Chains A and B, each alone.
Chain A
Amino acid sequence: MPLSPTNKPKVTCHDYLGQELPLPAKSSLVYLSLIAAILLNLLPFENMAAILRPDFVALALLYWSIHQPQQTGMSIAFVMGLIMDVIDASIMGQHALAYCLLTFFALILHRRLRMFNAFRQIPAVLWMLFLAQIVVFLTGTLAGTYFPEWYVLLSSVTGALFWPLISIILGKFLKQRTDPDEI
């Protein structure tokens, strides 16, 4: 019996060969998607919808730093964070800090995460979104506001569930136009 860590390896050579080689995104596409994300965050929902609404800006930043790490960086995340701080009327820097941490982990893990399809990426995305949200609340608590109810964290869960949809939509724009065998 051959020695192998598992009988059914999770990552096969097919995963490497079958990996799509998307073209580098144009920076205009990155900015447009981020503006669209801000727009989605600005929609005036009420009550339950407002609590469950995922942070689309965080999702877009995550997507770009996992799939196109050359195109985004922490500086964009920082600026987006400042904009979100103004929108959410929180202390300047709260969201900036959270988004920078988010981008950092995405940049570190992007090679590993790209091995999986969008659905298998959900757990990783979930903990990263949780981290970002908790950072925002903790900094708020330090500044004197109080810690909100637990169910606010549900927006991270819906965010993670939205992840496949967002990767598919943004991935459409990055559709590879050449056959890998031809290169």
Chain B
Amino acid sequence: MQTPPRFFRLGPSPLAKLFFFVLLSIFIMIADHRSELLSEVRRVIGTIIYPLQQLAHTPFQLRNRLERYVSDFRLIKEIDFLRREYLTSQYKFFQLKALTAENKQLRALLGAAQQTEIEVVLAEILHTPRDPFNRKITLNKGNTSGVKEGQVVIDDLGVIGQVTQVYPWTSEVTLITDKDHSVPVQIARNALRTVISGAGRNNQLELRFLSINADVRNGDLLITSGIGGVYPAGLPVGRITHIEYDRSREFARIICAPVAGVDRHRQVLILIASPLTTFEEKTKHPDAHATQPNQQTQSHVP
């Protein structure tokens, strides 16, 4: 039998191809969702597209630079403002220095563990996903700058999120507003400890397991409690904006707004060498916090 000439040979029919690729992609989706098998593939692709990312970012960088040259007048004002701010914060800084020294001494007297110094890396937001409801951003610092999975990302106002995937020159941050992301926090007013999670919509956070009689008020500031070792203590996370008591439910519905703004800034800080980096395994399973109460109740039952 003669084979048809090349022009008419189109390979397997589109339907067969579609069937094959649909099966393949479903398999890949399951593999990616359930296991860590494909994170290496992801890393390779992430490395390949890095130059493109950088290229796409340059016009915006150039525009920013141009704006900086053009807006001289605003710059003068800004310098003035910053100088004043610097002076006032300088005073606070001296105070803080004295306090740190004193704290160190007291800790030495008590024999308590030393708190490690936290290093920071300044990073720029390279890309926010096309889907605005995908609570992840890409930063322009990666493995080569010492960024590791599980490290905390903040801006000048508070916590933004946590590094969840590292590429050689870029890294991916899951925001605290992600549905599967939890942060151990305490209320600044009365040190009531709890866990805050992303509501998964509308840039909101949720306090899920606070009983109805808990002492919470509108406007309470939530700061990280430092429990769990991933987040250093004392970073502002959110502010309570709405409390709803529903008698039919065990827990109050408490909605918070994040303090930090991802849309407002392009620069963020990555906290390198947070106090206990050995805990980063825990962060790979964001629902670890959710399973903890279950374990407790199970242990109470017998």
Give the B-binding residues of A (Cβ under 8 A): 35, 38-44, 46-47, 50-51, 53, 55, 69-70, 73-75, 77-78, 81-83, 86-94, 96-97, 100-101, 104, 107-108, 136, 139, 143-146, 148-149, 152, 155
Report B-chain residues with C-beta under 8 Å of the C-beta of A42.
Answer: 49, 52-53, 55-57, 127
Q: At the interface, yes or no: B201 with Cβ under 8 Å from chain A?
A: yes
- Tell me the B25-53 residues at the A interface (CB within 8 Å): 25-29, 31-33, 38, 41-42, 45-46, 48-49, 52-53
Closest Cβ of chain A: how far from B41's Cβ, in Å?
7
Q: Are A92 and B28 closer than 8 Å at their CB atoms? A: yes
Q: If A44-B60, A50-B130, A90-B131 touch, does A97 touch B18 (CB 8 Å cutoff)?
A: no
* Contact among A41, A44, A107 with B14 in the assembled complex (CB-CB below 8 Å): A107
Q: Are B129 and A89 closer than 8 Å at their CB atoms? A: yes
* Contact among A39, A47, A89 with B138 in the assembled complex (CB-CB below 8 Å): A89
Q: Are B263 and A46 closer than 8 Å at their CB atoms? A: yes
Report A-chain residues with C-beta under 8 Å of the C-beta of B22.
Answer: 97, 100-101
Q: At the interface, yes or no: B104 with Cβ under 8 Å from chain A?
A: no
Q: Are A50 and B132 closer than 8 Å at their CB atoms? A: yes
Closest Cβ of chain A: how far from B287's Cβ, in Å?
10
A sample of 20 cross-chain residue pairs with beta-carbon separation below 8 angstroms, ordered by A number, consists of: A38-B52, A42-B57, A43-B60, A46-B128, A51-B132, A70-B10, A78-B25, A87-B49, A87-B129, A89-B138, A93-B25, A93-B26, A94-B25, A94-B29, A96-B24, A96-B25, A100-B18, A144-B179, A145-B134, A155-B130
Q: At the interface, yes or no: B158 with Cβ under 8 Å from chain A?
A: no
Q: At the interface, yes or no: B289 with Cβ under 8 Å from chain A?
A: no
* Contact among A39, A83, A87 with B55 in the assembled complex (CB-CB below 8 Å): A39
Q: If A44-B56, A81-B25, A97-B29 touch, does A88 touch B130 (CB 8 Å cutoff)?
A: yes
Q: Are B56 and A144 closer than 8 Å at their CB atoms? A: no
Q: If A44-B127, A82-B45 touch, does A97 touch B25 (CB 8 Å cutoff)?
A: yes
A82 to B25 Cα, complex, angstroms = 9
Interface centre among A70, A100, A143, A155 (most CB of B within 10 A): A100
B interface residues, tally (CB under 8 Å):
50
Closest to A78 in B: B21
Q: Are A44 and B128 closer than 8 Å at their CB atoms? A: yes
Closest Cβ of chain B: how far from A88's Cβ, in Å?
4
* Contact among A40, A70, A73, A96 with B28 in the assembled complex (CB-CB below 8 Å): A96
Closest Cβ of chain A: how far from B177's Cβ, in Å?
12
* Contact among A55, A70, A139, A146 with B130 in the assembled complex (CB-CB below 8 Å): A55
A86 to B134 Cα, complex, angstroms = 12
Q: At the interface, yes or no: B133 with Cβ under 8 Å from chain A?
A: yes
* Contact among A39, A86, A91 with B29 in the assembled complex (CB-CB below 8 Å): A91
Q: Are B56 and A43 closer than 8 Å at their CB atoms? A: yes
Closest to B20 in A: A74
Given contacts A46-B263, A89-B134, A93-B26, list 12 more A-B pairs with CB under 8 A.
A38-B49, A40-B56, A41-B130, A42-B57, A51-B132, A74-B17, A87-B49, A88-B129, A96-B24, A97-B21, A108-B14, A146-B133
Interface of B is mostly: helix
5 closest A-B pairs by beta carbon, nearest first, are A93-B29, A42-B56, A93-B28, A92-B32, A148-B133
Q: Are B14 and A143 closer than 8 Å at their CB atoms? A: no
Report A-chain residues with C-beta under 8 Å of the C-beta of B207.
Answer: none
Interface centre among B29, B31, B126 (most CB of A within 10 A): B29
Report A-chain residues with C-beta under 8 Å of the C-beta of B232.
Answer: none
A75 to B103 Cα, complex, angstroms = 62
Closest to B56 in A: A42
Q: Are A152 and B60 closer than 8 Å at their CB atoms? A: no
Q: Are A74 and B10 closer than 8 Å at their CB atoms? A: no
Closest Cβ of chain A: how far from B149's Cβ, in Å?
14
Q: Are B128 and A50 closer than 8 Å at their CB atoms? A: yes
Closest Cβ of chain B: how far from A92's Cβ, in Å?
4
* Contact among A44, A96, A155 with B57 in the assembled complex (CB-CB below 8 Å): A44
A81 to B26 Cα, complex, angstroms = 13
Q: At the interface, yes or no: B280 with Cβ under 8 Å from chain A?
A: no
Q: At the interface, yes or no: B275 with Cβ under 8 Å from chain A?
A: no
Q: If A44-B126, A139-B29, A148-B133 touch, does A74 touch B49 (CB 8 Å cutoff)?
A: no
